[in-house]
């Protein structure tokens, strides 16, 4: 597979493992890079010292290209950007903020930048900021979502219309079929979170991963719009949040219901009743915790097989 995304990042397959708090340590990111995709370290849940350690481990674990995901609301942002530059990281995927402020600084250090957006309005801002690629993420995705609730199916063609930049689709993609569909809509690569969050190499707790394999298609819901819209598994904590939201609770009350370190408690430490459990809608299709190598092989095989099947199938002739 050779297209603008594989060429931009020097990877075999246009598959990026999205940076995920409490999941994307060096084990997951290096496994994805070693399997021919682009692994990203999730800086969002790491103190700068921890990130430095993971960067060193990453360098020891792979010689393939990899990057760092940096949510721009990171509290020690300047310190962590200095660290990323000092450590010679080559690729950064920024999210949750404006791409304007830091893209030039990364470019001056020879770092390629992709930025995550959830609407075409922000895709235009990315183009103005000079990013190298855009990730367009629909609201079926795991993690923090766009307020506008635009699905991947609706978002990709609209972003494709407003920019000519290399485009990566994210949200609801966990099979080769879905990857092919995203490419048919105009994407040139995919960013996958949920499928890799439930992999063997993900640093999420076993309790969280096991719970993920039991969920149906109604297992998650978008909540916390007054704080930061987040797709959550419907556990006891979610129910408390939903009740508070239905009687109009404001952001401060919602934050106090969440309590401190809610996503660490849930995803990393395995408090599946009272922790904040972030995962995407497509989780309902994942019934096994598998190694990354196997996940990637299946994805690429499904993609190629489906592409060939479509070419020879009467279902599409009318």
> According to the binding rule CB under 6 A, does residue 137 interact with ligand FMN?
yes
Which span sits near ligand FMN by CB under 6 A: 160-168, 188-196, 217-225, 244-252? Answer: 188-196
Question: Interacting stretch for ligand FMN, rule CB under 6 A, among 46-54, 139-147, 218-226, 247-255?
Answer: 139-147
Among 14, 37, 71, 146, binds ligand FMN (CB under 6 A): 71
Considering only 36, 176, 193, 229, the residue that binds ligand FMN (CB under 6 A) is 193
Closest CA to 191 of 11, 56, 51: 11
Q: Which stretch binds ligand FMN (CB under 6 A): 20-28, 159-167, 178-186, 247-255?
A: 20-28
Binding flag, residue 146, ligand FMN (CB under 6 A): no
According to the binding rule CB under 6 A, does residue 279 interact with ligand FMN? yes
123 versus 315: smaller Cβ distance to ligand FMN: 123
Binding mask 164-183 for ligand FMN (x = CB under 6 A): ------xxxx----------
- Strand ordering across the sheet containing 230-233: 143-144, 230-233, 220-223
Under the criterion CB under 6 A, does residue 116 sit at the interface with ligand FMN?
yes
25-64 binders of ligand FMN (CB under 6 A): 42, 44
Q: Count the residues of the shown chain that bind ligand FMN, applying the rule CB under 6 A.
A: 30
Pick from 15, 23, 111, 168: which binds ligand FMN (CB under 6 A)? 23
User: Under the phi-then-psi rule, with left for phi > 0, alpha for psi from -120 to 50, and beta for the rest, what region is 145?
Assistant: beta
Q: What is the per-residue binding string for ligand FMN in 199-218, x denoting contact by CB under 6 A?
A: --------------------
Q: Which of 36, 143, 166, 266 binds ligand FMN (CB under 6 A)?
A: 143
CB 39 within 8 A of CB 74: no
Q: What are the residues binding ligand FMN (CB under 6 A)?
A: 18-21, 23, 42, 44, 69, 71, 95, 116, 137, 140-143, 170-173, 191-194, 197, 267, 278-280, 282
């Amino acid at each position: 597979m050779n297209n603008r995304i594989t060429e931009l990042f020097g990877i075999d397959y246009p598959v990026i493992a999205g940076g995920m708090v409490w999941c994307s340590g060096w084990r997951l990111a290096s496994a994805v890079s070693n399997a021919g995709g682009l692994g990203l370290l999730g800086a969002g849940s790491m103190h700068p010292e921890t990130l430095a350690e993971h960067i060193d481990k990453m360098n020891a674990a792979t010689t393939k290209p990899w990057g760092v995901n940096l949510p721009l609301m990171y509290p020690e942002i300047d310190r962590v950007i200095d660290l990323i530059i000092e450590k010679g990281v080559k690729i950064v995927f920024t999210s949750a903020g404006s791409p304007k402020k830091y893209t030039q600084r990364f470019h001056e250090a020879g770092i390629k930048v992709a930025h995550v957006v959830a609407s075409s309005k922000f895709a235009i801002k990315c183009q103005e900021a000079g990013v190298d690629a855009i990730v367009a993420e629909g609201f079926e995705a795991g993690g923090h979502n766009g307020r506008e609730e635009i699905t991947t199916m609706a978002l990709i063609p609209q972003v494709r219309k407003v920019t000519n930049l290399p485009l990566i689709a994210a949200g609801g993609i966990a099979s080769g079929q879905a990857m092919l569909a995203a490419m048919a809509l105009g994407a040139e690569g995919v960013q996958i979170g949920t499928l890799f969050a439930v992999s063997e190499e993900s640093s999420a707790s076993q309790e969280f991963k096991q719970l993920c394999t039991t969920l149906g298609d109604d297992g998650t819901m978008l909540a916390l719009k007054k704080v930061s819209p987040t797709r959550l598994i419907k556990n006891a904590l979610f129910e408390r949040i939903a009740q508070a939201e239905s009687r109009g609770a404001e952001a401060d009350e919602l934050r106090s219901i969440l309590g401190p370190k809610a996503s660490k408690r849930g995803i990393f430490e395995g408090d599946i009743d009272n922790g904040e459990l972030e995962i995407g809608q497509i989780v309902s299709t994942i019934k096994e915790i598998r190694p990354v190598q196997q996940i990637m092989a299946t994805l690429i095989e499904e993609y190629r097989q489906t592409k060939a099947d479509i070419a020879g199938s009467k279902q599409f002739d009318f």
